[in-house]
């Protein structure tokens, strides 16, 4: 039994050493090349749509944490098993480590933009783990079996200490690697940026003051995040080039400082995710500063028929936006500022795209490095390849923020409130009803444009007991949200949000 535990510990210690050495080498070769991140990235890209949909629905914004935890658990189990086998047949241990190393290297090589040295973290990690395996389960291991009842067990304590040392070394190495991996002068460079004042500053909206309502402007820390990047791409503004090419008469190349010198607009715009469920939180409203996209397109002069703009991010993710929508007068922009500061790193620093009226996956490329004029028949971007719709205008959405689901409130008068958006069409009315009664029209916050969400509130009377509050919104074209609930795939959820609460 003791020997088995030792073997399990030795196996997992070797895996920990592999991961730690991988992280240390990745300090030089780049954060997405470390074995766990490379494998995680490969899993994200290879996961079939229903599983991904399930993951996003189950874990929400913790989907990446869940994936890393899953990889960690799998690795621990497999390496524990390898440890058990390796004490009997050492070659099985070495073969297992070689397979690990090759899998990690293959995953890294499969990433967009991979270079040959991206395999080094996994390979060196595997070699280090093999050395550790040899030291821990090396010659002499068998001799530590109890020779006779009650006799001292030679060497055991030394070996146990060796396993502890191995875990300790792996811990220190891993923490050092992880800490150094994200450490370059990017935060410094971002803090040093002085954003220009906008040539055109849009009006500043004001929200309703109701306890429990979603604030009109979403602070950076509360803004949802959705992307396929396991580690945030780190794009230094000094090395930044944006290319506008493909089917254009005049290809354009711009550095970050050239982009900052162009006339800018600043606008409050809501961004929402196609995966947002009825009543969900995958939407935010911010004040974005950026270069109007239409001006840049005019300069590049797209060919007739180039009806899709393919956005590419530094990590290879792609996005397809209708060319005509970007030129129809709406505030489509290449954003560099978010709520008065340079874009936060996880929000696409240094440059991302924002197009009011379209879900993020067809418009909002973060870490944007290229716009390629193409056509919808010639190219399927990342999510379209995975069967999401190529055209995805934002559907009308309304949500109850207060009361919270299953809350208990005092009976009598009660203020209920929430938000609604029908982006680029505008919200004309929001109605609520209690327990399937008559609809009543709510009070709407003043609004500065059709591109932001609109808060609503209503005073209602409730008797003691359990109640259901429903909400529905109507846009400026006169369309009211349909009651039936439809899940997000393939082009956005619809249906009325409702909240059950108790009054007493
Ligand atoms: N490079 C890159 N940009 C991306 C994505 C991505 O996976 N990679 N996801 C898109 C999706 S699906 C959405 S909803 C928005 C989310 O932007 P946020 O994380 O700033 O809220 O970014 C878009 N831009
Ligand atoms: Mo999204």
User: In this structure, what CATH number is given to the domain that contains residue 204?
Assistant: 3.90.420.10
Ligand nearest to the CA of 317: 1
* CB within 8 Å of 249: residues ≥ 6 apart: 300, 301, 302, 303
Rounded-to-integer distance, Cα 14 and Cα 488, Å = 43
DSSP state of 381: -
| Final residue belonging to a domain, choices 360, 385, 410 | 385
* Domains identified in the chain, total number: 3
Protein residue with its CA nearest to atom 16 in ligand 1: 226
Ligand 1 pocket residue status of 397, Cβ below 6 Å: no
**pLDDT for residue 148 is more than 60:** no
Q: How far is the CA of 207 from the centre of ligand 1 (A)?
A: 26
In angstroms, the CA 504 to CA 502 distance is 7
Residue 71 — φ and ψ, nearest 5°? -65, -45
- The pTM (predicted TM-score) of the whole model is 0.86
**How many Å lie between the centroid of ligand 1 and the Cα of residue 360?**
6
Q: Rounded mean pLDDT of the chain? A: 92
Select from 285, 356, 366 the residue to mutate for testing ligand 1; criterion: most ligand atoms less than 8 Å from CB. 366
Is 275 a pocket residue for ligand 1 (Cβ < 6 Å)?
no
pLDDT digits (tens, 9 = 90+) for 214-231: 999 999 999 999 999 998
Question: 142 and 29, same structural domain?
Answer: yes
Note whether 7 and 87 are within 8 A (CB).
Answer: yes
User: Of all atoms in ligand 1, which is nearest to the CA of residue 224?
Assistant: 21
Q: Are residues 332 and 440 in the same domain?
A: no
Question: What is the Å distance from ligand 1's center to 101 Cα?
Answer: 31
Task: Say which DSSP state 148 is in.
Answer: S
- Residue written as token pair 């418009």: 363
Query: Is the residue at 108 inside a domain?
Result: yes
Determine whether the shortest distance from the Cβ of 367 to ligand 1 is under 6 A. Answer: yes
Is the beta carbon of 225 within 6 A of some atom in ligand 1? yes
Query: First vs last Cα of the chain: how many Å apart?
Result: 59
CA of 229 to the centre of ligand 1 (A): 9
Distance 484 CA to ligand 2 centre (A): 22
Query: For atom 13 of ligand 1, which residue has the closest CA?
Result: 360
| Other beta carbons less than 10 A from residue 81's beta carbon | 16
For residue 19, is it within any domain? yes
Ligand 2 centre to CA of 171 (Å) is 35
Whether residue 53 has pLDDT greater than 80: no
Please name the residue whose Cα sits nearest to atom 12 of ligand 1.
Answer: 361
Q: From ligand 1's centre to the CA of 260, what distance in Å?
A: 22
Residue 75 lies in a domain: yes
**Could you tell me the pLDDT band of residue 65, with boundaries at 50, 70 and 90?**
confident
Q: Is residue 492 part of a domain?
A: yes
Report CA-CA distances (Å) from 65 to 59, 230, 382: 9, 9, 22
Q: Is the CB of 338 under 6 A from ligand 1?
A: no
Q: Which of 357, 385, 413 is the last residue of a domain?
A: 385
Model confidence pLDDT, tens digit, residues 454-479: 999 999 999 999 999 999 999 999 99
Contact 319, 363 (CB under 8 A): yes
Assess whether the C-beta atom of 227 lies below 6 angstroms from ligand 1.
yes
| Closest residue by Cα to residue 144 from 160, 132, 131, 130 | 160
Whether residue 134 is predicted with pLDDT greater than 80 in this model: the reply is yes
- The residue whose C-alpha atom lies closest to atom 8 belonging to ligand 1 is 227
Q: Which atom of ligand 1 is nearest to the CA of 314?
A: 1
Classify residue 448 by its DSSP letter: S
Residue 211 class from Cβ within 10 Å (0-12 exposed, 13-18 middle, 19+ buried)? exposed
Return the CATH number at 455: 2.60.40.650
Claim to verify: residue 314 and residue 458 sit in the same structural domain: no
- Counting from 1 in the atom list of ligand 1, the atom nearest the Cα of 361 is 12
pLDDT (tens digit, 9 = 90+) per residue, 413-443?
999 999 999 999 999 999 999 999 999 999 9
Residue 260 lies in a domain: yes
Residue 365, ligand 1, Cβ within 6 A: yes
User: Minimal CA–CA distance to 417: which of 464, 476, 459?
Assistant: 459
Average pLDDT over residues 346-372: 98
Ligand 1 pocket, residue 45 CB under 6 Å: no
* Whole-number pLDDT of residue 141: 54
Q: Are residues 336 and 222 in the same domain?
A: yes
Q: Which residues form the domain of 443?
A: 397-503
How many Å apart are CA 422 and CA 415, to the nearest integer? 23
Please indicate, yes or no, if residue 390 is contained in any of the structural domains.
Answer: no
Ligand 1, atom 6, lies closest to the CA of: 227
Q: What is the pLDDT of residues 70-112, one digit of tens each?
A: 999 999 999 999 998 888 888 999 999 999 999 999 999 988 7
Is 194 among the domain residues?
no
Distance from the alpha carbon of residue 240 to the mean position of ligand 1, in angstroms: 19
Q: How far is the CA of 341 from the centre of ligand 2 (A)?
A: 23
Name the H helices within 285-424. Answer: 293-300, 323-326, 382-385
Residue with CA closest to ligand 1 atom 18: 225
Ligand that lies nearest to the alpha carbon of residue 235, given by its number in the listed order: 1
Residues 130 and 254 in one domain: no
- Verify whether ligand 1 is closer than 6 Å to residue 361 (CB atom): yes
Q: 155 pLDDT band (50/70/90 cuts)? A: very low
| 332 in any annotated domain | yes
């Amino acid at each position: 039994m003791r020997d088995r535990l030792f073997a399990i510990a030795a196996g997992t210690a070797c895996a920990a050493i592999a991961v730690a050495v991988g992280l240390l080498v990745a300090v030089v070769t780049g954060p997405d090349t470390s074995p766990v991140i490379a494998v995680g990235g490969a899993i994200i890209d290879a996961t079939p749509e229903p599983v991904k949909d399930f993951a996003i629905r189950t874990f929400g914004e913790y989907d990446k944490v869940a994936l890393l935890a899953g990889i960690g658990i799998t690795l621990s189990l497999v390496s524990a098993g390898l440890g058990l086998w390796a004490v009997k047949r050492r070659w099985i241990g070495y073969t297992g480590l070689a397979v690990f190393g090759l899998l990690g290297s293959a995953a890294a090589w499969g990433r967009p933009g991979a270079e040959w040295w991206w395999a080094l973290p996994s390979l060196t990690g595997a070699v280090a783990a093999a050395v550790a395996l040899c030291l821990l389960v090396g010659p002499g291991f068998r001799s530590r079996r109890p020779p006779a009842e009650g006799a001292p067990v030679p060497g055991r304590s030394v070996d146990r200490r060796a396993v502890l040392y191995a875990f300790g070394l792996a811990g220190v190495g891993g923490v050092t690697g992880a800490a150094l991996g994200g450490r370059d002068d990017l935060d410094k460079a971002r803090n040093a940026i002085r954003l220009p004042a906008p040539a055109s500053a849009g009006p500043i909206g004001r929200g309703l003051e109701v306890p429990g309502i979603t604030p009109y402007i979403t602070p950076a820390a509360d803004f949802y995040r959705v992307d396929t990047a396991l580690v945030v791409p780190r794009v230094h503004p000094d090395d930044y080039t944006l290319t506008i090419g493909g089917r254009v008469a005049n290809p354009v190349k711009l550095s970050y400082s050239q982009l900052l010198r162009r006339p800018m607009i600043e606008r409050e715009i809501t961004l929402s995710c196609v995966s947002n469920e009825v009543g969900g939180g995958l939407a935010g409203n911010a004040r974005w500063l950026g270069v109007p996209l239409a001006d840049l397109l005019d300069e590049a002069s797209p060919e007739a028929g180039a009806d899709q703009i393919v956005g590419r991010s530094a990590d290879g993710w792609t996005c397809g936006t209708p060319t005509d929508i970007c030129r129809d007068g709406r505030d489509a922009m290449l954003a560099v500022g978010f709520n008065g500061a340079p874009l936060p790193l996880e929000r696409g620093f240094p440059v991302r795209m924002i197009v009011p009226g379209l879900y993020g996956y067809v418009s909002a490329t973060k870490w944007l490095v290229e716009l390629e004029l193409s056509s919808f028949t010639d190219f399927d971007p990342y999510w379209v390849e995975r069967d999401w719709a190529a055209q995805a205008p934002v559907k009308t959405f309304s949500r109850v923020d207060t009361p919270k689901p299953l809350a208990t409130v005092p009976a009598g008068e009660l203020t209920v409130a929430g938000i609604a958006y029908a982006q680029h069409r505008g919200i004309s009315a929001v109605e609520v009803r209690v327990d399937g009664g008559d609809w009543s029209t709510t009070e709407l916050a003043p609004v500065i444009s059709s591109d932001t969400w609109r808060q609503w509130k209503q005073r209602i009377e409730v008797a003691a007991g359990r109640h259901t509050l429903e909400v529905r919104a109507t846009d400026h074209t006169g369309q009211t949200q349909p009651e039936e609930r439809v899940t997000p795939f393939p082009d956005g959820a619809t249906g009325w949000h409702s909240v059950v609460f108790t009054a007493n």
